[in-house]
Amino acid sequence: MRLFSSFAKGLAWALLLCSTGAAHAQLRLPGLHLPQPLGGLDSLARPAERLLERSVPGDLRGLRLDAVETLLRRHRTELEADPRGEPVVRGEILATSPAAAALEAAAGLEFAVLRADRFEELGESLVVLRVPPNLSTQEALARLRALDPAGSYDFNHVYTGSSALPLGGGGGAEAARGGTAAGAVGLVDSGVDLGHPVFEGAAVESFGCDGKPHPAPHGTAVAALMVGRAERFAGAAPGTRLFAADIYCDSPTGGSADKIAGALGWMARARVGVVNISLVGPPNALLERVVAAMVARGHLLVAAVGNDGPAAPPLYPASYPGVVGVTGVDRQGRPLPEAARGPQVMFAAPGSQMVSAAPGTSPYRQVRGTSFAAPIVAALLSKALPQPDRAAAARAVSTLAAQAVRENDAPADALGRGVVGAALRVDPNRFR
Report pLDDT for 7: 46
Q: Bigger pLDDT: 197 or 431?
A: 197
> Could you tell me the pTM of the whole model?
0.86
Q: Going from the N-terminus, what domains does the chain have, and what CATH number goes with each?
A: 60-157 (3.30.70), 161-170+179-430 (3.40.50.200)
Helix extents (H) in 136-198 = 137-147
Percent of the chain at pLDDT exceeding 70: 80
Q: Bigger pLDDT: 155 or 52?
A: 155
Question: Mean pLDDT over all residues of the chain?
Answer: 84
In single-letter form, the type of residue at position 271 comes to R
In single-letter form, the type of residue at position 62 comes to G
pLDDT band at 165 (very low <50, low <70, confident <90, very high): very low
Residues with Cβ within 8 Å of residue 295, at least 6 apart in sequence:
301, 320, 321, 322, 323
How far apart CA 393 and CA 381 sit, in angstroms, is 8
Instruction: Report the DSSP pairing between strands 233-234 and 345-350.
Output: unpaired
Residue 72 has pLDDT above 60, yes or no: yes
Instruction: Report the DSSP pairing between strands 87-96 and 79-81.
Output: antiparallel
Report pLDDT for 64: 78
Residue 310 has pLDDT above 60, yes or no: yes
Report pLDDT for 181: 52
Q: Bigger pLDDT: 33 or 355?
A: 355
Q: What is the DSSP string of 352-374?
A: SSEEEE-SSSS-EEEEESGGGTH
pLDDT band at 412 (very low <50, low <70, confident <90, very high): confident
Residues with Cβ within 8 Å of residue 197, at least 6 apart in sequence:
230, 363
In tens, the pLDDT along 26-64 reads 222 233 344 444 333 355 555 544 443 344 444 555 677
The phi, psi pair for 317, rounded to 5°, reads -85, 0
Report pLDDT for 431: 84
How far apart CA 2 and CA 324 sit, in angstroms, is 48
Report pLDDT for 45: 52
The phi, psi pair for 275, rounded to 5°, reads -130, 130
Residues with Cβ within 8 Å of residue 348, at least 6 apart in sequence:
326, 327, 328, 329, 333, 335, 373, 414, 415, 416, 418, 419, 420
Residues with Cβ within 8 Å of residue 194, at least 6 apart in sequence:
172, 177, 202, 204, 206, 213, 215
How far apart CA 265 and CA 340 sit, in angstroms, is 28
Report pLDDT for 59: 55
Torsion of CA 302, 308, 313, 319, to 10 degrees: 0
Residue 17 has pLDDT above 70, yes or no: no
Active site residues: 189, 218, 371
How far apart CA 432 and CA 427 sit, in angstroms, is 10
